[in-house]
Amino acid sequence: MPTYEQDFYQWTIEQAQALRERNIKALDWDNLIEEIESLGRDYYKDCFSYAVLIIVHRLYIDYWVAQRERNQFHWQGEIDNWQTLIQNHLTTNIKNKLEKEWDTIYHQARQKFIKKTGIDTLPESCPYTLEEILE
């Protein structure tokens, strides 16, 4: 039987089979726990990243006047894509955690916007709510 470190893919197949069969002795508990926790972290990180990207692109539309006419439809299309992706992962708990970290999310988005555009006259606090970002 391959171990977690030797052949992760085969390990997942065997662990799934052991779960289906309720074969408790065949389960690799420590690695299963780590993988389940990792799945949750990954879902949250994805939502965090999509929120940052959505805010950056909203900032482009609202504050990068010189490029708005040329790029606004592309930026809005990107926003629409990320909103769909975030909705696919969003749970009540993830949403609550995003709300708690909203200042950090905005700070990251603001920094990305400034780095790309050179425009640093943005509001210090996020001009959007989480609900507006998710719409």
- Average pLDDT over the chain reads 95
10 has pLDDT over 70: yes
Distance (Å, whole) CA 127 – CA 49: 18
Residues 54 and 83: beta-carbon distance below 8 Å: yes
Distance (Å, whole) CA 79 – CA 67: 16
4: confidence class by pLDDT, cuts 50, 70, 90: confident
Per-residue pLDDT at 105? 98
Q: Nearest-CA neighbor of 54 among 85, 71, 79?
A: 79
73 has pLDDT over 80: yes
Q: What global pTM score does this model have?
A: 0.86
